[in-house]
Amino acid sequence: MEILKGVFLVRGEVSNVYLVKVSGGYVSVDAGTPGDYERITAYLRSAGIEASDIKVIVLTHSHWDHAGGLKKLRELTGAKIAAHREEVPYLRGEVGTSRRRFEPVDVDIMLDDGDEVYGLRVIHTPGHTPGSICLLNTSQRSIFVGDLVYEEQGRLREMHHHYSKDPHMNRASIAKLVNYDFDHVMPSHGNPIIGRGREALRQLISELGM
């Protein structure tokens, strides 16, 4: 479904996958679980998007519900894979075998804080995982937050502590986002918050006493 002009949401079995229209094609934000491959390909067909139009798949982090469909999606699209450099060893299968529940994949583009991928600005937000990132789309005034926070009943919530490697660092990353300018929040779990995303973030920060 198109939630903003040029921003499309594909509902996975566990987490959301977003397709963002950029100059020359599309960026896929995450790749879902291994079982989400068919959901994504079905959406591409229904939307009239050629698989080859997806130029890069950007991983917000390397958990299986975001990276599980990566290998098949890259084979279908020929897209490059981009991830923060601290997530690369997990994606390649070099470390964290208990955390990785998918086939290892190589990474074409190693990202750092402040980098840009097709106009999407990388914001390093560690805590949930060491290399978790958010992606800021300044032209759309939207931010893709991965698992930094999730949406529930129209509000943003802190990710449950037992899912995050360093919950305290995750809180610091939540507070960091208030320094950026956006209207819309695109979480990996729950519904997008359109028009009042920054307000919802401030409310969460207040509730957390930060």
- CA atoms within 13 Å, Cβ hemisphere of 2: 9
Q: What is the pLDDT of residue 149?
A: 98
Q: Which residue in this structure is represented by tokens 């450099």?
A: 85
Q: What is the pLDDT of residue 163?
A: 85
Write the burial class of residue 57 (CB in 10 Å: 0-12 exposed, 13-18 middle, 19+ buried). buried
What CATH number is given to the structural domain containing 161? Answer: 3.60.15.10
Round to whole Å and give the CA distance between 33 and 54: 18
Q: Is there a contact between 60 and 133 (Cβ–Cβ < 8 Å)?
A: yes
Residues 48-72 have a mean pLDDT of: 95
Count CB-CB contacts under 10 A for residue 61.
Answer: 27
Q: Per-residue confidence at 99, pLDDT binned at 50, 70, 90?
A: low
Q: What is the pLDDT of residue 94?
A: 84
Q: What is the pLDDT of residues 24-41, one digit of tens each?
A: 999 999 999 999 989 999
| Long-range contact set of residues 16-21: C-beta below 8 Å, sequence gap at least 24 | 16/186, 16/187, 16/188, 16/189, 17/69, 18/144, 18/186, 19/43, 19/49, 19/54, 20/118, 20/120, 20/137, 20/140
Q: Which domain holds residue 23?
A: 2-207
Q: What is the pLDDT of residues 149-188, one digit of tens each?
A: 999 999 999 998 988 889 999 999 999 999 999 999 999 9
One-letter amino acid identity for 131?
A: G
- Name the domain count of the chain: 1
What are residue 147's phi and psi, to 5 degrees?
-105, 20
Round to whole Å and give the CA distance between 14 and 105: 21
